[in-house]
Amino acid sequence: MSKVLTHSLFTDFDIDLFKAGKHYRLYEKLGAHLIELDGVKGVYFAVWAPTAHSVSVVGDFNFWTQGEHLLQVRWDSSGIWEGFIPNVEKGATYKYKIQSNNGGIVTEKADPFAFYCEKPPHTASVVWDLDYKWDDSKWMKNREDHNALDKPYSVYEVHLGSWKRHGEDNRFLTYLEFAEDLVAYVKETGFTHVEFMPIMEYPYDPSWGYQLVGYFAPTSRFGNPQEFMVLVDRLHQAGIGVILDWVPSHFPDDAHGLGFFDGSNLFEHPDRKKGYHPDWKSLVFNYGRNEVRSFLISNALFWLQYYHADGLRVDAVASMLYLDYSRNDGEWEPNIYGGRENLDTISFLKEFNEAVYSNFEGVQTIAEESTSFPMVSRPTSIGGLGFGMKWMMGWMHDTLEYFQKDTVYRKYHQNDLTFSSTYAFSENFMLPLSHDEVVYGKKSILGRMPGDEWQKFANLRLLYSYMFTHPGTKLLFMGCEFGQSAEWNFEGSLDWHLNEYPYHDGVRKLITDLNGLYKAEPALYEKQFSPEGFEWINYSDHQNAVISYIRKGVKLKDDVIVVCNFTQVIRENYRIGIPRKGKLKEIFNSDAATYGGSGIKNGAKLAIEAAPYDGRDYSVELTLAPLGVTVFKIV
């Protein structure tokens, strides 16, 4: 008598949707589910393995014996193997032992739909449930307002393994410890959102989480699924949104992972020119296969449904969009129209975004896309890919290039800064200073700044203040907010002791105040993706390396005027044009003494004169702080 009972959670309609690539909640069917059948408690197992000859569930409940618990393949050619095993309990470890039709190869695979995994380097899946009582109803009810594109969006990017470690033994903090320390810190510094670098289970620490094997399981390095839910819940209770990095672009070829899953190229594209990533030595999903599309879109919706994620930042979109990405001539083939675009990927990304936005209110998808591919953050209804936002990689590259230059040469490169305004509104851009900018010999952001110690910190404050007043949403990698001196090291904690030094503490205070300014001034967010929200005053004063501009809100009274001085020269009696009469009030100055600056500032209120300048009827004389950004309002 078989020890596996015949049972199925699938209906015929489920199978039709799965085959068509339209089943977006496969996690409710595939995987391991604790159920009760005819009064007996146990686990229903289901796995997709269409070319398998046999599939056994092996685990600690049967001494990992092949053939002890054989699943049955469905009759409908779906390739799904399933069955109910009595008396298996929550916490049991298991794998699928798959014998292929391809030469009888036998492999042990982790469950692609497992909710929980053993702690690496162990590789088994763990039977688990997702029961949890959420206490974030207030956030979820108002999430659409918090997360809207015309609201402040200031993101703190976090790698949980290295944000902070336990001091004595350098161990990881737990999700519950993060729920105390991280939540308090993010609330104190004023960020509106946290973005977690991938928390889905991954085998290899140096991948930083970007090579996944457990797409439906938060990594067990820091605790169990419910403990991760506590972290998200506490962030929401503190009024902080949660964005998760999501990696549908590639996956590793680890023996227990998705690669060659049932003895065939099941998840990866069978053509090596499309199914292998030369940079990362990893496998690429087959976006043209319906069942794979269902797997990926189900995975995206899973994190939004069960973990209340407020957004997904999609990694490496450029590598997905182009057939010739990181490939030489002869290593790729054009599409049916002779182009280099991956048509299957384009179709998949559109479907993914449509599924996300139609199933969940108040969420955002964000593309890490580094090319000029058009309409990434435009609706699919008008031909776009459908993302809510796109990383502004051009701004990041040009701005960092400019800031690395000694101030004496900046007058020759002002176009590096002003060029971003020519395309700033072609997409809904997020300005990123991410983890990628502080590794592999690039130095820390502080380490790139020129000059002596005072100038380095002044330049850093200048950079951040320019960033927060530039159109677009913001993202800052952990440690940058207090001027981490060294490059990021994923194997240890951030250098928190630096906050004991005035200059570093000053940067942290500056970021806190910039977050406050961003949230307090509607002109900095209401039209952050519209050309109506930005106007140059003067971008051509190369000689003095000064630029000035207006950020505009819905109401005229909310407009703010921003003046940036990119040299260490104090500029007195510096005149700029003003659009209307009144008085000018300084509301922010990156050179304030509290930040470690020189304290150069303007008087309480400056009289605006009826003296034409910069093509305007009015003007005012200012004092510009060295390496400083000053923000004003007309009162």
CATH number at residue 619: 2.60.40.1180
Q: Which of 348-352, 438-442, 585-589 has the lowest mean pLDDT?
A: 438-442
In a domain, 607, yes or no: yes
**What backbone torsions phi and psi does residue 204 show, to the nearest 5 degrees?**
-125, 110
Q: Which residue matches tokens 């998760």?
A: 244
Whether 255 has a pLDDT exceeding 90, the answer reads: yes
* Average pLDDT estimate for 545-566: 97
Is residue 317 domain-shared with residue 206, that is, in the same domain?
Answer: yes
Q: Which residue matches tokens 């949707």?
A: 17
449 HSE (CA, 13 A, CB side): 26
178 HSE (CA, 13 A, CB side): 25
Is residue 43 domain-shared with residue 156, that is, in the same domain?
Answer: no
pLDDT of residue 477: 98
**What backbone torsions phi and psi does residue 117 show, to the nearest 5 degrees?**
-130, 160
CATH number at residue 56: 2.60.40.10
Residue 416 and residue 402 in contact, taking contact as beta carbons nearer than 8 Å? yes
In a domain, 308, yes or no: yes
In a domain, 259, yes or no: no
- Structure token pair of residue 299: 């995975």
pTM confidence score: 0.96
Is residue 583 domain-shared with residue 513, that is, in the same domain?
Answer: no
pLDDT in tens, 266-308: 999 999 999 999 999 999 999 999 999 999 999 999 999 999 9
Neighbours of 229 (CB within 10 A): 23
Is residue 73 domain-shared with residue 190, that is, in the same domain?
Answer: no
pLDDT of residue 105: 83
Q: Which residues have a Cβ under 8 Å from the Cβ of 73 and sit 6 or more positions away?
A: 52, 55, 79, 80, 81
Is residue 359 domain-shared with residue 453, that is, in the same domain?
Answer: yes
Whether 551 has a pLDDT exceeding 60, the answer reads: yes
Is residue 368 part of the annotated active site? The answer reads yes
pLDDT of residue 102: 79
Whether 106 has a pLDDT exceeding 90, the answer reads: no
Q: Which is it for strands 560-565 and 628-634: parallel, antiparallel or unpaired? A: antiparallel
Is residue 326 domain-shared with residue 398, that is, in the same domain?
Answer: yes
Average pLDDT, the chain: 96
In which domain, by residue range, is 608 found?
Answer: 532-634
- The residue from 227, 291, 310, 315 that is catalytic is 315
Is residue 75 domain-shared with residue 198, that is, in the same domain?
Answer: no
Is residue 207 domain-shared with residue 350, that is, in the same domain?
Answer: yes
* Residues 327-348 as b or e (16 or more Cβ within 10 Å = b): beeeebeeeeeeeeebebbbeb
In a domain, 4, yes or no: no
pLDDT of residue 168: 79
Q: How confident is the model at residue 494 (pLDDT cuts 50, 70, 90)?
A: very high
Q: How confident is the model at residue 2 (pLDDT cuts 50, 70, 90)?
A: low
Is residue 546 domain-shared with residue 485, that is, in the same domain?
Answer: no
Is residue 93 domain-shared with residue 166, that is, in the same domain?
Answer: no
Q: How confident is the model at residue 1 (pLDDT cuts 50, 70, 90)?
A: very low
Comparison of pLDDT for 296 and 2, the residue scoring more: 296
pLDDT in tens, 397-406: 999 999 999 9
- The residue from 68, 111, 368, 369 that is catalytic is 368
How many structural domains compose the chain?
A: 3
136 HSE (CA, 13 A, CB side): 25
Nearest Cα to Cα of residue 110 among 225, 253, 265, 257:
257
CATH number at residue 502: 3.20.20.80
Is residue 315 part of the annotated active site? The answer reads yes
Q: How confident is the model at residue 103 (pLDDT cuts 50, 70, 90)?
A: confident
Q: Residue 11, SS3?
A: coil
Domain boundary among 508, 524, 540: 524
pLDDT in tens, 27-45: 999 999 999 999 999 999 9
pLDDT in tens, 171-213: 999 999 999 999 999 999 999 999 999 999 999 999 999 999 9
Is residue 97 domain-shared with residue 17, that is, in the same domain?
Answer: yes
In a domain, 597, yes or no: yes
Task: List Cα–Cα distances, 469 to 86, 127, 263, in angstroms.
Answer: 61, 49, 54
In a domain, 630, yes or no: yes
Quote the CA–CA distance of 562 and 112 in Å, as a whole number.
51
In a domain, 133, yes or no: no
In a domain, 139, yes or no: no
Whether 17 has a pLDDT exceeding 70, the answer reads: yes
- Structure token pair of residue 42: 């146990």
Is residue 547 domain-shared with residue 494, that is, in the same domain?
Answer: no
